[in-house]
Structure 1
Amino acid sequence: MTEGNTADMIAVKATEVAPRTKPSNYPEPFFSRMSGRVKRQLGDVFGISNFGVNLTRLAPGAESSLLHRHSKQDEFIYILEGSPTLITEDEEIVLAPGYCAGFPAAGIAHQIVNRTDMDVLYLEVGDRTPGDEGSYPKDDLQAVLGPDGKWQFTHKDGTPY
């Protein structure tokens, strides 16, 4: 990887970008469910601030996130390796390398789960629209993207974790 300050980066080998130091922003009891997920924040390396790009690896049995949807953020994934299962509120679809999926804001809730015995590797892209909220249909959790760009999590009744 090219050494230097973020503004000096032009090209890097994606697998050499350091993994995100904190595996999840979720509070417990959800945080530990993300233990088999490793994200490399590729967009941040270049100082990109309007959208995020992550190279995400899921170990066998790992999940990408809780089943969720965003109020304002669009998301897109592209499978590079492995055969993860895309789970929505209505169906499950086994994906393979070359498959992609998109999730418009306020659309269907979704998550990716690795039910195989091999790692899954995929790219995920999402915008960073201010005021975004996350809803989690199967969990007692809601999230609001704060003005500082960090997620603030509460129970569905509004009490903090």
Structure 2
Amino acid sequence: MIINPSEVPKETGTNYPEEFKAKVAGRIKQRLGNAAGLNDFGVNLVHLQPGSCSALRHWHVQEDEFVYILEGELMLITNSGEQVLSAGMAAGFPAGEENGHHLVNHSSNIATYLEIGARKSNDEANYPDEDLKAKFTENGVIFTHKDGAVYN
């Protein structure tokens, strides 16, 4: 199936608990994988405004992730530190590797990248910098504190 990204809806916002939403307020996603009818993995075209993060720094128990920078410059922050990624660079994050990661736009321009990841309904995400965990279920994501108490 051929997809014209200009015809794919742009989505903002997040399902994170309220106290974390501002960190990703400048993230705009276009769900290209959904537009193509893909079920096994997702592909998103993401535009990241200056000062915004791709996500909270996290790692997945069962889901591989991959990003490819199309335009602009982003700071990749992992357990190892910070590294600038520019157009044409990519990074991968294997499932189960406890390497919290996210992208931050410290530049004054919008950056654009592709993010690709599996769609595992039994996955979990861990957020090393926040009191947050996520459990992916068939009915959606459940966010809890690290002690297991559910966010309201």
**Fold match (TM-score > 0.5):** yes
Measure, in 1, the Cα distance between the counterparts of 2:125 and 2:52.
Answer: 20
Partner of 1:91: 81
Partner of 2:2: 11
Give the alignment's TM-score, normalised by structure 2.
0.95
- How far residue 33 of structure 1 moved from its aligned partner, in angstroms, is 1.6
Which structure 1 residue ranges, 4+ long, deviate > 4 Å from structure 2?
none
Aligned residue pairs total 150
- How far residue 16 of structure 1 moved from its aligned partner, in angstroms, is 3.1
Structural mapping, 1:125-136, within 5 Å: 125-136=116-127
Measure, in 2, the Cα distance between the counterparts of 1:151 and 1:130.
Answer: 9
Out of 146, 149, 152, the residue aligned to residue 137 of structure 2 is 146
Give the alignment's TM-score, normalised by structure 1.
0.90
Residue deviations 1:68-97 (CA, integer Å, cap 9, x gap): 000000000000000100000221000110
- Structure 2 alignment gaps of length 5 or more: none
Out of 42, 61, 64, the residue aligned to residue 52 of structure 1 is 42
For 1:92, the aligned partner's letter is: E
- Structure 1 alignment gaps of length 5 or more: 1-9
Residue deviations 1:101-160 (CA, integer Å, cap 9, x gap): 000001211000000000000000000123100000000000000123x21101111111
Contact persistence 2:3–2:36 (CA under 8 A): no
State the SS of the aligned residue for 1:121. Answer: strand
Structure with the largest fraction of strand = 2
- How far residue 32 of structure 1 moved from its aligned partner, in angstroms, is 2.1
